[in-house]
Amino acid sequence: MPLDRYQASPRQYRETVEPFEYAKDDLIRRVQQHGFVSILGRTIRLCRAFAGKSVALRPTATDGVFDAWFRHQKIETIDLNALAR
């Protein structure tokens, strides 16, 4: 029975989420209400689910290409070269 296998989590419940520390070289952006962020004069839509959250934009080995990260999870790759001005 599933009830026989249940056990309480060993982790303590926290009412508020601890702030996340991104790397010092990351470009930190706050996601706007409809999921938009700005980078190098361009406005990019990530996802509305991240509205109000901070994300890190990390440059890749390719010039003009950035990886967007939320905490430890990569959420998207942004290619500024492919966007029309």
CA distance 74 to 68: 6
Q: How far apart are CA 30 and CA 56, in angstroms?
A: 9
Quote the pLDDT of residue 85. 56
Closest CA to 34 of 24, 44, 25, 26: 44
Contact by Cβ (8 Å): 44, 38 = yes
Closest of 68, 31, 84, 36 to residue 53, by C-alpha? 31
Sorted by where each begins, the domain ranges of the chain are 30-85
Q: What is the widest separation between alpha-carbon atoms in the chain?
A: 60
Interval 16-64: pLDDT, tens: 888 899 999 999 999 999 999 999 889 999 999 999 999 999 999 999 9
